[in-house]
Structure 1
Amino acid sequence: MKKNKSILLFLLFLSLSVLAQDQKSNWQPASFQIVKAKYKTFKTTQYAHVFSGSKNNIVRLAPELEGLNGVQLPLEQYKKGTNAALKLTFKENVQLLIGTFQEKENKDYFQFSAADNAKLVLENGATVTGLPAVNVYAISYSKGTHTILPNAKGLFVVLGAVKSSQNLVARNAEFPDGKLWNPTFIVEGFSDEKPLFEIVGGETKPVIDEGFPGTEGIQGGFEGGRVVKVGDTYHMFPTERAGEIGVDYYYDRVKTKIGHWTSKDAINWKRESTIYQASGTYALTEDDNPMNDRRGAIWSYMPVFNKKANKWYGYYLAYTVHKEIQPNHSFGRIWRCESTVEGINGIGGPYKDMGIIMEPGLDSQPWEGRQGVASFFPYQVGEKWFGFYSGAYPFETWADYPKNSGKGWFVALAESNSLEGPWTRMNKGLEPIKSIHPVFVENPIVSQLPNGLYIAIFDGGPDGWGHHLPNMMGYSLSKDGVNWSEARYWPIETKVGKWWDIMRTPLCLIPEGNDVYTVIYNTIDLNKRFHPTGMVKLKLNRDVMEARLKELK
């Protein structure tokens, strides 16, 4: 008897599990056609831009909705009530899925009434950047042509249509409010505009991961640095988060190394040497004090070949590190070094230090924060040199120094007549560049496209740890190297199987011929301490490149 009861309970559990799984599987789409009006459809998926003429995109989506076909409504017209009627033709009886925004008192957003006969099927079923949380309703329509919500006032989302026979089991998907995200990022391939780069390939697993040859003694993996190609060989100079045995993973960021790795294919890598090793010594005081060891952590090594001097220069970041104050990286200083071996093949060094070129001081501004100067990358425009420098954990005013910092990762420009310097903050560093993204641009690396446009690739910021950022690599364009465009972001996981949780820093944009480029990038897998490195291939669209140049004139 007990045995039979156990079997029954097991079968009941199995049935409930199958039912729950079925509820969360993709709903089957029903086809429809848009009648006359110039509305476009979109694939209902993460990153989809749900309105024409806007940047609002999906960052969270219930799996039931994945892969349906939605309709892009013109945002401003629907807000103002000046939109053309949306007419759809259905070849069969359907349930149309409409998303409404959870601000019932806000007249910008449409809300159902009892007369609409709408059934709530997904509470908090999607998150759209910059907009309130989305509830998803189903409305039944018979076969034929229908005007959709002809008397609706305010904004809503058409997420797709499913067959009338589809069993829509209501649940709360528990996705967050979209107002946590700033709706200022454009995802390549999902907006109204054509992408500058198409993702054409890449590795579906890390090219360097824990346990690979050369990673011995590197507990925390990799973050930042640069990759360059000399002849047929790739040279990578990553920050190795070596850490200390028995010390918490957060402190892998302290006792760091700059390694030199090489590869013939950007996939199989060999560690050649250590360029620099940080001391790992913690600060004695809370402020930027000469008593502290100012090379407790070393990061962000950027090799640049100086044709005039016929040798490689390196620019890198040295931090004071504090054991208790976040961020534990503080008061960054940019050092310049030179290879002791002349010529293009002297990239492996050894290198000798030539001194500090940029540091906190009287010309620093509060936005540079406790972490600034937090990175540096020089690039040439004509006879002039410019350099992106960054700050993080800003002070609102100098009265907040040294501990009371906020959040924000910013960049600005310095200028010089030579790579050696002196380097001067442009505009006295009064304001960071916010045209790229208002709150997060980290570790930009600059190169030029075939038509002369400057392109800066950078870390777009995590969607995690309380941050609500794109979680993608981004790029910005400039005609003159000074004024930079709004960022676009690369959704690598749409073409390459996603093996990471958090996308971090791109290390290069290397042209390989036929408009194909190699990008090496760092990531975080939340299931492991070691931060691995990946590789992806991009294809440049020259027509879009020329169109972007015209837009910037």
Structure 2
Amino acid sequence: MKKYSGFTFLIGLAAAVVTFIPVKKAIAAVPLNQVQQVKATWPAATFQIRTPGYPAFKTADMGHLFAGQKNCIVRVAPELNGLTGVKMPAGFYEKGEDQPLKLKFKEPVKLLLGFFQDKAKTFRQPGSGAQLVLDSALTVTGLPSVKVYAVAYPAGTHTINPAGSGLFTVLGVVKANQPLTFRNAGLPDGRGWEPFIVEGFYDNKPLFDIVGGPDKPVVEEGMPGTEGIQGGFEGGAMVKIKGTYHMFPTERAGEKEVEAYYDRVKTRIGHWTSPDAINWTRQSTIYQASGTYALTEDDNPMNDRRGAIWSYMPIFNEEANRWYGYYLAYTVHKEIEPNHSFGRIWRAESTIPGIDGIGGPYTDKGIIMEPGLDSQPWEGRQGVASFFPYKVGEEWLGFYSGAYPFKTWADYPKKTGKGWFIGLAKADKMEGPWTRLDSTVNPVTSMHPWFIENPIVSKLPNGLYIAVFDGGPDGWGHHLPNMMGYSLSKDGYTWSEARYLPIETKVKKWWDIMRTPLGLIPEGNNVYTIVYAAIDLKRRYHPMGMVQVKLNPAVLDMKKQELEKTAILTGAQNQAKK
């Protein structure tokens, strides 16, 4: 269960100890994805790139400015939005590594160059004759603010190589007669964002192409089955059986005429079915939370430990010939952040045997993970905040999560930091006992250093494991990708850096905050279906959406080779240390 608030901390990690790193002062709020709502107000002029190795890119949201580097645009002034820029090769700013950029213009133009502003670090600066036209014109992840200068060029081929050393960027070309009036766009410094990789923008070999999906929610307020659900939906899981989709979302039920926060307390797990992942029918309630607030601040048996219920994950146990359901139950406090605390993972079994028993009813079989002496400080006050098991060889691994970490146990129960982490637990069988792995593995930060939520694992055709997850919001004081992400693994233990899926390139963006994917469902012909939860900030109700993506088998094989090489290299390094 997720709760984001405050301009607080980024989290770094050393072994099992969480290090608290203060963020620079709060960044001014800017409307999310404003770049998608306007076209560039400075019309573009055509040009040709005459130097090999310098591809073009769009100066727009998610555009990556430098080949081989993760820095991407997350805010852009409307004057520039949609112009064609030039992606510099990695290492260009180190003298002598690459040929200087040559551009050919068919007519007189004004070239728009971006220069990064930081007194503590040297960046290239414009020469004489350059006209300052925009200040704070871009927010680029991990980089300082950008000033844009216009430089006039006649028709012909020209070398673009401002004096000095360091980064600069080519953001577009406009006609010479285009009037350019200076303006401070007021966009925030990009160093409040950690750089991240957007699929299809970082390079031209994405693992997944976005096929598309409905341009509106597939489960929406007022549809049959949504009666009694005040706040919409959040994460859970979806499976497909004999052509029918079965979805188990968290329903933020709440109560009528009760504040919206109670939607997150009075929750329930619903069972929905669909023939196409678009038209859904509600079948039943699997579990209902008590909605009761805690009496004490600590993890005390006096409190109702099922005040809120979230994140139901159905897994079929072939040996037992039954569905197992893993779900999260919280203690909920009215005043302490996070209000949802001391999470516990319950295991349930379907009373009806066989694959058709997916709809339940289910019987609780007890708690498999909870706060205790084997908890790790990064799990924090939120406790075990999600769980998803997957089989690796003859054993089982399980992703479990935590949030609001403790720096040390002396900070228990209220002195918490910020960060949403995952770790791995291990068992010989699905029933457990489940054992947390140690600090050489946990928390798993290779995907992202401080935010991964609700990973769901499946296998791809070439045997690689894939985890899909919530990549975190660009909002509520957090500067995260605001997209669902994925990570790959060869062995189930070591996971690659996250890549994020820009589904808004093919689906009309009806949401402000992207939330949780409910899994990756194979459809054949390399196509996969994803149902996801998302938020329109203008509304209390959080709907569900749907998108399809297509896997590129050649890229998948390339990814496997990369992971194998990494494993060999890591093994050699570990052996050398011994």
Q: Same fold (TM over 0.5)?
A: yes
Which of residues 213, 226, 242 in structure 2 aligns to 1:215? Answer: 226
Moved more, 144-153 or 474-483: 144-153
Q: Which residue number corresponds to residue 253 of structure 1? A: 264
The change in CA–CA distance for 1:430 and 1:365 in structure 2 (over 3 A counts) is farther
Q: Which residue number corresponds to residue 547 of structure 2? A: 536
Question: 1:406-425, aligned counterparts within 5 Å?
Answer: 406-425=417-436
Q: Which residue number corresponds to residue 370 of structure 1? A: 381
Alpha-carbon distance, 1:512 to partner? 0.6
Name the CA distance, whole Å, in 2 between partners of 1:429 and 1:279. 38
Q: Which residue number corresponds to residue 290 of structure 1? A: 301
Q: Cα RMSD over matched residues?
A: 1.4
Q: Which residue number corresponds to residue 77 of structure 1? A: 92
Whether the 8 Å CA contact 1:394–1:406 is kept in 2: the answer is yes
Which of residues 154, 161, 165 in structure 1 aligns to 2:173? Answer: 161
Alpha-carbon distance, 1:105 to partner? 4.6
The change in CA–CA distance for 1:429 and 1:219 in structure 2 (over 3 A counts) is farther
The change in CA–CA distance for 1:80 and 1:290 in structure 2 (over 3 A counts) is farther
Which of residues 118, 140, 158 in structure 2 aligns to 1:103? Answer: 118
Report whether the alignment pairs 1:31 with 2:46. Answer: yes
Alpha-carbon distance, 1:244 to partner? 2.4
Whether the 8 Å CA contact 1:81–1:154 is kept in 2: the answer is no
Report whether the alignment pairs 1:62 with 2:74. Answer: no
Q: Which residue number corresponds to residue 4 of structure 1? A: none
What are structure 1's unaligned runs of at least 5 residues?
A: 1-22
Q: Which residue number corresponds to residue 451 of structure 1? A: 462
* Alignment deviations for residues 455-485 of structure 1 (CA, whole Å, 9 cap, x no partner): 0000000000000000000000001111111
Whether the 8 Å CA contact 2:125–2:162 is kept in 1: the answer is no
The residue identity in structure 1 corresponding to 2:347 is: R
Report whether the alignment pairs 1:508 with 2:523. Answer: no
The residue identity in structure 2 corresponding to 1:71 is: V
Q: Which residue number corresponds to residue 244 of structure 1? A: 255
Percent of paired sites with the same residue: 70
Moved more, 193-202 or 449-458: 193-202
Name the CA distance, whole Å, in 2 between partners of 1:242 and 1:50. 44
Q: Which residue number corresponds to residue 497 of structure 2? A: 486
Which of residues 135, 147, 151 in structure 1 aligns to 2:159? Answer: 147
Name the CA distance, whole Å, in 1 between partners of 2:95 and 2:293. 58
Which of residues 371, 385, 388 in structure 2 aligns to 1:360? Answer: 371
Name the CA distance, whole Å, in 2 between partners of 1:295 and 1:404. 23
Indicate the SS of the match to 1:223.
Answer: strand
Name the CA distance, whole Å, in 2 between partners of 1:423 and 1:503. 31
Which of residues 83, 88, 92 in structure 1 aligns to 2:107? Answer: 92
Whether the 8 Å CA contact 1:363–1:428 is kept in 2: the answer is no
Whether the 8 Å CA contact 2:40–2:83 is kept in 1: the answer is no
Question: 1:127-526, aligned counterparts within 5 Å?
Answer: 127-183=139-195, 185-427=196-438, 431-526=442-537
The residue identity in structure 1 corresponding to 2:177 is: S
Name the CA distance, whole Å, in 1 between partners of 2:68 and 2:439. 37
* Alignment deviations for residues 254-306 of structure 1 (CA, whole Å, 9 cap, x no partner): 01000001111100111111000000110111111111100000000000011
Alpha-carbon distance, 1:251 to partner? 2.6
* Alignment deviations for residues 217-240 of structure 1 (CA, whole Å, 9 cap, x no partner): 111110000000110111100000
Name the CA distance, whole Å, in 2 between partners of 1:547 and 1:220. 43
Alpha-carbon distance, 1:440 to partner? 0.5
Indicate the SS of the match to 1:345.
Answer: helix
Alpha-carbon distance, 1:169 to partner? 2.6
Q: Which residue number corresponds to residue 15 of structure 1? A: none
Q: Which residue number corresponds to residue 20 of structure 1? A: none
The change in CA–CA distance for 1:80 and 1:432 in structure 2 (over 3 A counts) is farther
Of the two structures, which has the highest relative contact order with CA contacts closer than 8 Å and spacing of 6 or more? 2
- What TM-score does the superposition give when structure 1 sets the normalisation length? 0.93
Moved more, 447-456 or 193-202: 193-202
Name the CA distance, whole Å, in 1 between partners of 2:492 and 2:403. 22
Alpha-carbon distance, 1:535 to partner? 0.2
Q: Which residue number corresponds to residue 7 of structure 2? A: none
* Alignment deviations for residues 113-144 of structure 1 (CA, whole Å, 9 cap, x no partner): 5x2x1112221111110000111111111111
Q: Which residue number corresponds to residue 65 of structure 2? A: 50
Name the CA distance, whole Å, in 1 between partners of 2:40 and 2:520. 38
Alpha-carbon distance, 1:37 to partner? 4.3
> Computing the radius of gyration over CA atoms, which structure comes out larger, 1 or 2?
1
Q: How many pairs were matched up?
A: 527
The structure carrying a bigger helix percent of its residues is 1
Indicate the SS of the match to 1:427.
Answer: coil
The residue identity in structure 2 corresponding to 1:528 is: R
